[in-house]
Amino acid sequence: MAEFVRYPDPRLTVKAVPRPMDAALRATAERLVAAASDVQAYGLAAAHIGEIEPLVVISVAADTAQRDYRVLFNPEIVGTANAGQAGPEGSVSMPGIEAPIERPIWVDVAYDTVDGGRVVTRFEGFVARCALHEIEQMNGIFFLGRLSRLKRDTAIRKFQKLGRTQ
């Protein structure tokens, strides 16, 4: 079973720097996919497993019972919908805590593929939410940073009460 970095670990607020594809980055991607599979996560950023690397994995499966992970190397948001929708978000780094966050209903993401090509893909609905959430995490923005101070403080107190901090 994968070990995940827990809030308030400072690695969750470090921005990954884009870099060329190499064997080490591919190996990190394999570990990240394995960790996501272990817990059936909808997505993960490398920071969740303690590595500050420019990659995320997201599940692009329509069937939420079966995950089909796509690895996004050096992802960047290149477009978003003007329309948004609020939905619950959480993190493997803060289990037991969820909060509603407003996100665009679609997002265009440019990223490198495992074979080194650069593509742009539009993700919609829940998959767009996951992509945005994980890319923000890769950029050092933990989901609590999207909450008001009151909601953030409430979430932190609840997490501490659950006794899940390291």
Which residues are tagged catalytic? 134
From the DSSP assignment, how many helices (H) and strands (E) are in the chain? Answer: 3, 7
Strand partners, 43: 58
- Strand 106-112 relative to strand 118-124: parallel, antiparallel, unpaired? antiparallel
Instruction: Determine what percent of the chain falls in helix, strand and coil, rounding each to the nearest 5.
Output: 35, 30, 35
Give me the torsion for CA of 39, 30, 140, 6, rounded to 10°.
Answer: 40
Contact 53, 17 (CB under 8 A): no
Distance, CA of 161 to CA of 147 (rounded, Å) = 19
Burial class (CB in 10 A: 0-12, 13-18, 19+), 40: exposed
